[in-house]
Amino acid sequence: MSKKVTDIVAELATPLMDERNLELVDVEFKKEGPDWFLRIYIDSETGVDLEDCGKVSEQLSEKLDEFDPIPQAYFLEVSSPGAERPLKKAKDIEKAVGKNVHVTTYEQIDGEKTFEGMLTAFDGDVLTVEVKIKTRKKSYVIPYEKAANVRLAIIF
């Protein structure tokens, strides 16, 4: 079975990230209209700036030219995942305990499929999200395997 483009790119990008003390957050390879886009999202404890993105783009572009894992033409974009970054891996969710999150689920839990509030706990199997409803707070226990999307949230 051949590897997916995103897996190959992640393998090529990981050593570059390690050298720069950066985290590879996500790799996307999508067709939008007639064009293909290879998007690399990077981050660090202190955040990333345009210079970080530019250097990673330059180095990764060289690696991609050398190994040529993508047969069609594409645009390479390297950026920060933003303030409301997706939490794709269990370790990302673990690091987000104590922060505001937005969680959508595959099926309803207590009549809801969308939860936005403070992630108060994550043990690898369940997320506990404390949601503020008017003047009271309610905790929801969400099985990890039922979480469709989890991302950081900015709550006003």
Distances (CA, A) of 79 to 4, 38, 89: 21, 11, 19
Q: Which CATH class is domain 90-152?
A: mainly beta
pLDDT for residue 3? 78
Of the listed ranges 37-41, 88-92, 148-152, the least confidently predicted one is 88-92
Span 129-142, pLDDT tens digits: 999 988 999 999 99
Which H/E stretch holds residue 126? strand 126-133
Is residue 128 within 8 Å of residue 93, measured between CB atoms? no
**Does the domain spanning 5-79 belong to CATH 3.30.300.70?**
yes
Domain boundaries of the chain, sorted by first residue: 5-79, 90-152
Phi, then psi, of 35 in degrees rounded to 5: -105, 150
